[in-house]
């Protein structure tokens, strides 16, 4: 199937909330990690979301170029070709974009999508994230309102964040403090500023103790009931059950029980990056250790081309990451729920 149209993406999100599951949103940094994600979704019979961060977009453009727009466009165009060979729907998304990178990342990509739509084409990406967590809430929502208008014109979904995700990702650092937990007041302010879909569709990354990075289960103190409180506060004012399509960031180390509880409160998208990075790299490390003499020209020897051919270890890396994507689909209950 092709990359999701705006209509298909909207149906994907609606089905997730209505049927109590969420889509893994897999960060990719290369054609290999993209292929691994596609394979994992297909094997799980799950539609899904593939996303690129600011750092990932720079890397995709080439380490000597470091242009986020170039890398993003290259990924989107490549994905359109290869995703067509898989029997699942895939939405393309850009991950965390702070204020100082909007002009070099999200805004130019929205302009590209606006031009594409004017030409009768689908937007380049299906959604973009504005990360205003480092801004005061008023400024965060003011920028979100401006971006939402542009996104709606480009037939793109916006993702906004209220509260702070702890830890660090691509240079965006969230302090570990009370801002890790969004409040009903934050949610009410968001609904007032952005509406509830009538001004443009958006996803909301509300925080409930989330932390980016690698943690053992139990280290991160999640409070999924924060999401329930947010939904209920806004529902009470506007009369709409579970008014927000919620996003779960920083989920490494979360228990399956916490993940499923968050889904029950309206989470339709969960970002997966740290775990799939490890799942991709671990088989490479195994290959290099086991094939040491073949990979390296030890003591003047010639090595073994079959061992150091990038395809040899690349295939195992992709298989490892695909397996972790399948597991994520099972955890989030999207497995077997692809659109027919």
CA neighbor of 156 nearest in space, from 243, 89, 91: 91
Structure token digits, residue 183:
């409040």
Q: What's the residue count for the chain? A: 340
Q: 120 labelled as ligand-binding?
A: no
Q: 272 labelled as ligand-binding?
A: yes
Q: 131 labelled as ligand-binding?
A: yes
Rounded to an integer, what distance in angstroms lies between the CA atom of residue 111 and that of residue 73? Answer: 12
Rounded to an integer, what distance in angstroms lies between the CA atom of residue 211 and that of residue 106? Answer: 23
Q: 50 labelled as ligand-binding?
A: no
Q: 143 labelled as ligand-binding?
A: no
Q: 271 labelled as ligand-binding?
A: yes
Q: 273 labelled as ligand-binding?
A: yes
Q: 249 labelled as ligand-binding?
A: yes
Q: 287 labelled as ligand-binding?
A: no
Q: 96 labelled as ligand-binding?
A: yes
Rounded to an integer, what distance in angstroms lies between the CA atom of residue 143 and that of residue 136? Answer: 11
Helical H runs in the chain? 6-19, 31-44, 54-61, 68-82, 106-118, 137-153, 184-194, 225-238, 256-264, 274-290, 292-295, 305-308, 310-331
State yes or no: is 95 an active-site residue.
yes
Structure token digits, residue 6:
């705006």
Structure token digits, residue 203:
């996803």
Q: 84 labelled as ligand-binding?
A: no
CA atoms within 13 A on the CB side of 79: 32
**CA separation (Å) from 279 to 20, 37, 79, 158, 275?**
27, 11, 21, 29, 6
Active-site residue, from 14, 47, 67, 95? 95
Rounded to an integer, what distance in angstroms lies between the CA atom of residue 23 and that of residue 335? Answer: 9
DSSP per residue over 23-91, as a string? EEEEE--SHHHHHHHHHHHHHHT--EEEEE-HHHHHHHH-TTT--HHHHHHHHHHHHHHHGGGSSS-EE
Q: 219 labelled as ligand-binding?
A: no
Q: 252 labelled as ligand-binding?
A: yes
Rounded to an integer, what distance in angstroms lies between the CA atom of residue 101 and that of residue 131? Answer: 10
- List binding-site positions: 96, 131, 161, 212-213, 249-252, 271-274
Which residues does the annotation mark as catalytic?
95
Going by the annotation, the residues of the binding site for Zn(2+) are 96, 131, 161, 212, 249
Please report, in range form, the residues annotated as the binding site for dihydroxyacetone phosphate: 213, 250-252, 271-274
């Amino acid at each position: 199937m092709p990359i999701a149209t705006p209509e298909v993406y909207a149906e994907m999100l609606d089905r997730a909330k209505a049927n109590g599951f969420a889509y893994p949103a897999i960060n990719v940094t290369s054609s290999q990690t993209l292929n691994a994600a596609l394979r994992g979704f297909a094997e799980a019979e799950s539609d899904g979301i593939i996303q690129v961060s600011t750092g990932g977009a720079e890397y995709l453009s080439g380490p000597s170029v470091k242009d986020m727009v170039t890398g993003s466009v290259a990924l989107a165009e490549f994905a359109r070709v290869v995703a067509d060979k898989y029997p699942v729907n895939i939405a393309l998304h850009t991950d965390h974009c702070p204020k100082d990178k909007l002009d070099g990342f999200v805004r130019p990509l929205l302009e590209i999508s606006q031009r594409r739509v004017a030409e009768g084409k689908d937007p380049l990406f299906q959604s973009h994230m504005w990360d205003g967590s480092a801004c005061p809430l008023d400024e965060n929502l003011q920028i979100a309102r401006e971006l939402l208008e542009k996104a709606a014109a480009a037939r793109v979904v916006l993702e906004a964040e209220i509260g702070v995700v702890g830890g660090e990702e691509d240079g965006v650092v969230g302090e570990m403090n009370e801002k890790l937990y969004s409040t009903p007041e934050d949610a009410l302010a968001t609904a007032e500023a952005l509406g509830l879909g009538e001004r443009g569709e958006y996803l909301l990354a509300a925080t409930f103790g989330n932390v980016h990075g690698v943690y053992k289960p139990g280290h991160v103190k999640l409070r999924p009931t924060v999401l329930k409180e947010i939904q209920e506060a806004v529902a009470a004012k506007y009369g709409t059950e579970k008014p927000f399509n919620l996003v779960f960031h920083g989920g490494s180390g979360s228990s399956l029980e916490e993940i499923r509880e968050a889904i029950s409160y309206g989470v339709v998208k969960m970002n997966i990056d740290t775990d799939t990075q490890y799942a991709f790299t671990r088989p490479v490390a195994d290959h290099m250790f086991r094939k040491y003499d073949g990979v390296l020209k030890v003591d003047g020897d010639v090595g073994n081309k079959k061992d150091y051919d990038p395809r040899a270890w690349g295939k195992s890396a992709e298989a490892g990451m695909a397996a972790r994507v399948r597991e994520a689909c099972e955890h989030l209950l999207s497995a077997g729920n692809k659109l027919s």
